[in-house]
Amino acid sequence: MTRLDVWAPLGAAGTAEVVDALTHLQFQGTPATAPHVHRCDLDVAGHHVDVHWRLGRVLACSVAGAEVASGKAEGVRTGQDTFVWDYTVMPLSVLGETVEVTRERSGRDRWAFRVAGPQDRTWRWRPAGALIADRMELTRDGDRSPVVTHTLRPVPGHPRSPSGPPTVTWQESASLVEVLMPVLWVLDQVHKGLLPKAQRIARLEFL
């Protein structure tokens, strides 16, 4: 059986709904000792993806029963990046290779992350929208347009947030991993109160 090339272009653009199986109360009440907790199913260009927690609240994606990516949130304490609140990042393991995530402190949006993967692949993961961000975008370094966009629903801090489930949208050049990375990161943050742009004012984040 040919091994799935998770970095190959999907060859077709598309959109999938990201419906989290956990409510906020279920999220809060699920112990880290739970061996398996389903989070969502995705159909990405013909690939059926199962996203779930495994033991220790490791968020993982499997295709045809084989795990392709996983990660666990790592807390970053207040210090040089911010003096008001702590935050988390989620580095990923993709078929044994590491995808690093670091928070940017300068630039257009300060809730922004630099992402570095194998074979010198690099991206920016940033909020987009007007004053209040309604989506997160994954953009390859050197590109102007995002390769993957993940909408936020409900929009954090928005009194009239659009209804419906969040979606992930990808370009035909996107790889399966590029689609899954934002899904994992948003699912990790969604019940923690993701405040990616001007919403950060609610937490008095000034740096």
Q: Please state, in angstroms and as integers, the Cα–Cα distance from residue 128 to each residue in 34, 146, 203, following that order.
A: 35, 10, 19
**Residue 17: in which H helix or E strand, if any?**
strand 14-17
- CA pair distance 191, 41, nearest whole angstrom: 18
Closest by alpha carbon to 68, among 39, 35, 96?
96
Average pLDDT, the chain: 84
HEC per residue, 145-197: CCCEEEECCCCCCCCCCCCCCCEEEECCCCEHHHHHHHHHHHHHHCCCCCCCC
Residue 19's CB is within 10 A of a number of other CB atoms, namely 13
- CA pair distance 20, 23, nearest whole angstrom: 7
Sign of CA dihedral 34, 66, 17, 155: positive
Structure tokens at 2: 């040919």
pLDDT at residue 201, rounded to an integer: 45
CB within 8 Å of 119: residues ≥ 6 apart: 7
In tens, the pLDDT along 94-116 reads: 999 999 998 876 655 556 789 99
Where do the domains of the chain lie?
A: 17-203
Mean pLDDT of the region 90-95: 95
Stated pTM of the model: 0.86
Top-confidence residue, 187 or 51: 51
